[in-house]
Amino acid sequence: MDFVFLTEQSLNGLQFGLMLFLLAAGLTLVFGIMDMINLAHGSLYMTGAYLAAALTTYSGSFLLGVGGSLAGTAVIGVLLEVTLLRTLYERDHLSQVLATFALILILNEFVRLIWGPQPVALNLPEALSGPVEVIPGLTYPIYRLLIIAVGIAVALLLYFLVSHTRAGMWVRAGASNREMAMAMGVNVRGLFTAVFAVGAALSALAGAMLGPLLAVQVGMGESILILAFVVIVVGGIGSIRGAFVGAILVGVVDTVGRTILPMTLREVFSPQVASNLGPALASILIYILMAGVLFWRPQGLFPARG
Residues that bind another protein (CB under 8 A): 2, 4-5, 8-9, 12, 15-16, 19, 108-109, 112, 117-121, 123-124, 129-131, 139-141, 143-144, 212-220, 223-224, 254-255, 258-259, 262, 271, 275, 278-280, 282-283
Of the pair 75, 273, the CB lying nearest another protein is at 273
**What beta strand segments (E) does 94-213 contain?**
131-135, 138-141
Ramachandran class of 94: left when φ > 0, alpha when ψ lies in -120 to 50, beta otherwise = alpha
Of the pair 142, 173, the CB lying nearest another protein is at 142
Closest residue by Cα to residue 300 from 223, 226, 240, 222 = 240
Of the pair 4, 71, the CB lying nearest another protein is at 4
Of the pair 163, 270, the CB lying nearest another protein is at 270
**What beta strand segments (E) does the chain contain?**
131-135, 138-141
Of the pair 9, 177, the CB lying nearest another protein is at 9
Dihedrals phi, psi of 295, to nearest 5 degrees? -65, -45
Q: How far is the CB of 213 from another protein (least distance, A)?
A: 6
Q: How far is the CB of 97 from another protein (least distance, A)?
A: 20
What's the one-letter identity of residue 187? Answer: N
Q: How far is the CB of 228 from another protein (least distance, A)?
A: 12
Q: How far is the CB of 59 from another protein (least distance, A)?
A: 17
β-bridge mates for residue 138, sequence order: 135
* Residue 126 buriedness (CB in 10 A; 0-12 / 13-18 / 19+): exposed
Of the pair 94, 127, the CB lying nearest another protein is at 127
Closest residue by Cα to residue 90 from 178, 28, 181, 170 = 178
Q: How far is CA 41 from the centre of its chain?
A: 9
Closest residue by Cα to residue 223 from 75, 54, 49 = 49
Q: How far is the CB of 108 from another protein (least distance, A)?
A: 8
Q: How far is the CB of 122 from another protein (least distance, A)?
A: 8
Task: Identify whether the C-beta of residue 50 lies closer than 8 Å to the C-beta of residue 107.
Answer: no
